Amino acid sequence: MSARERAVEFVRRYRWPLGIALAALLVRLVWNLWVHPPADFVYSDMDTYVSRARALVADPLRRDPNETFFPVGTHYLLAATMALFRTSSLLPATLLWAVMGAALAPIGYFLTGRLHGGPAWRDVGDAPKKAAPKEDASKEDERATLIARVAGTVLVVYYPLLSYTGYFLSETPFALCLTLAALLTLRVADHGRARDAWLLGATLALGTLFRSQMLAVLPLLALVGLLRWRELPELRRPRVVAAIVVPVLAVLAFNLALTHYHTGRATPIAQNAALNRAFGRCHCYELRTRDASWGPPPLGELHRRGEANPNSFPKLNPAITPVLQVKTRMIDEPKIHELADRCIREGGWGKQLYYGMTHVLLLWGYSPAWPDMGVPEYRPLMQGGTRAHLFAFALPSLIALGLCVKRARARLALMVAFVLSLFVVVLRYMGDARLRVPYDAVWIAVALHVYATVVPVTLARWRRPKK
C-alpha cells in the first residue's frame, strides 16, 4: 500500500474524530483570535500567571517565595511558549490554548466510544469482515459509535470548556490531562500495555503540575483496582503500577525541591492549597494577611445573597467571622493551616457538614464559574452551560454509581473514580463551579454511557407485550 493509499485509508477510518477535531479547532481559533482573545483578559489570576512567566524567562534562577504559591505548570507552560518563540507576545500561548481546548473533543470521542463499546470498539464499518459479529455485539458497537459522535460534537461547542480556552488559566491544560488520563486508564485496564501505562503516569504527573487536585484520582483508582482485582487483572501487574506511580513520584520530588529552593520549606503541593482549606473550613469570604488579601468568588456570592436575603439557602455561615485577618504572610502554610484547624474547633462539626453540602451545591448553583461570573456578556452563557451540564449529564450520571456496583461494570467504576475525585477535593477544600469544569468531558462520557445502557432496556420493557 502506497503512502497516499495509507493516508486515504487513515482519513476514511478516522473521518469522524478528524472532523470533530477540525471543527473544534476552528471554533477555538475564532474564539481566541477574534471573539475572546485571552490577551485582553490578563488580570487577577491570569495576570499572576503571565507576569510570573515573563519573570521566569527573564531570570530562570531567581528565588521568589511567591513562585510556588500556585501550581507552577501554567506559568511554566506560558514561559515555554515565550522562550521557544523568543517573544514576550502572548500570541503563541493563545494558539496553544486553542489547540489544547480543541483536543478535548476527539479525546472525548474516543473515551466515550471505548467506555461503552469495550476494548475492541471501532467505528461501525471498520470491524474485520472475516466473521460477522453477534447481533447484540453489533448493536452495542453501533450505540458506542453513536454516543462517541454525540460526545465529540457536544464538546466542539460546549461553552464552559470553550470559555476557559480564552483565559490564561490552568483549567484548559488540566482538563486535557484529566480527560486523556481517563482514556489511558481504560486502555491500560483493557490491554495492560506498558506504553499506555507510562503515558498514563506521565499524564497524571503533568496534570499535577497544573493542579494538585489530580492526586485525588490515584487513591480512588487504586481502590477500584483492589475491589475489582479479578475483573481488572491488568491494573495489578507490578510493571503497570510502577509505570503509573513513578512519574507522579518524580513530579512530587520536583515540587519538594522547587518549594525548598524558593521558600526554604519543602512541600509536595502548591501553597495555595492551605489557603483553600482555610476558606473551606472557615467560610469567610475574605482573608487578609500582612501582605495581601484573598476572596474566593463563590463564597463572596453566598455572602451577598445572605446580605440581600437573610432567609436565603444556602448562605455564608462563618465559623468565626465573614472576614478574617491574620498576622502572617499568605504563603505561611503552617499558620494558615492553624487557622483552618481553629475554625473546625470553634465552628464545630455541624458547621463542617453544612460547609460540605454547600461546596457540592456550588459546583452547579448560585455562582457561575469565574472569571465569566464577573463579565456581564459571558455570565449568562456560563450559567446556561452549567445548567445544561447539571440536568443533561450530572444528574443522569448518578445512575452510574448504581451501575458500577456490578462486577461486570468495573471499567465504568474507573471512570466514576475520576468523577468522585472532584467531590473528594471540594469536601476537603471548597466548592466552586470553576473546579468542576475540567471534569466535564469525563462526566459527559459517563452520562452518555448511562443513556446508551438504560434507555434501550427501558424501551424494550415498555414495548414488551403484556400477558
Tens digit of each residue's pLDDT (9 = 90 or more) over 167-192: 999 999 999 999 999 999 999 999 99
Contact criterion met (CB below 8 Å) for 165 and 31: yes
**Nearest C-alpha neighbor of 28 from the set 166, 176, 171:** 166
Pick the more confident residue, 130 or 16.
Answer: 16
Examine the pLDDT at 38 and tell me if it is beyond 60. Answer: yes
Determine the pLDDT at residue 467.
Answer: 55
Q: What is the span of the domain harbouring residue 181?
A: 3-266+370-462
Mean per-residue pLDDT over the chain, rounded: 92
- Examine residue 351 and state whether it is found in any structural domain, yes or no: no
- Examine residue 205 and state whether it is found in any structural domain, yes or no: yes
Across 433-437, average pLDDT: 96
In degrees, rounded to 5, the angle at the alpha carbon of residue 280 between the alpha carbons of residues 398 and 371 is 80
Residue 366 neighbours by CB under 8 Å, 6+ apart: 298, 301, 302, 305, 314
- Examine residue 347 and state whether it is found in any structural domain, yes or no: no
- Examine residue 60 and state whether it is found in any structural domain, yes or no: yes
Determine the pLDDT at residue 312.
Answer: 85
Tens digit of pLDDT for each residue in 205-259? 999 999 999 999 999 999 999 999 999 999 999 999 999 999 999 999 999 999 9
Q: For residue 128, name the pLDDT band (cuts at 50, 70, 90).
A: very low
- Examine residue 354 and state whether it is found in any structural domain, yes or no: no
User: Is the bond into 65 cis (omega within 30 degrees of 0)?
Assistant: no
- Examine residue 283 and state whether it is found in any structural domain, yes or no: no
Determine the pLDDT at residue 67.
Answer: 92
List, edge to edge, every strand of the sheet that includes 286-288.
293-294, 286-288, 323-325
Tens digit of pLDDT for each residue in 19-30? 999 999 999 999
- Examine residue 52 and state whether it is found in any structural domain, yes or no: yes
Across 123-131, average pLDDT: 49
Residue 255 neighbours by CB under 8 Å, 6+ apart: 68, 208, 267, 268, 269, 270
- Examine residue 356 and state whether it is found in any structural domain, yes or no: no
Q: For residue 289, name the pLDDT band (cuts at 50, 70, 90).
A: confident
Looking only at the bridges linking them, the beta strands covering 286-288 and 323-325 are parallel
Q: Indicate the number of domains in the chain.
A: 1
Determine the pLDDT at residue 455.
Answer: 87
Determine the pLDDT at residue 137.
Answer: 65
> Largest alpha-carbon pair distance within the chain?
80
Residue 116 neighbours by CB under 8 Å, 6+ apart: 140, 143, 144, 147, 148, 448, 449, 452, 453
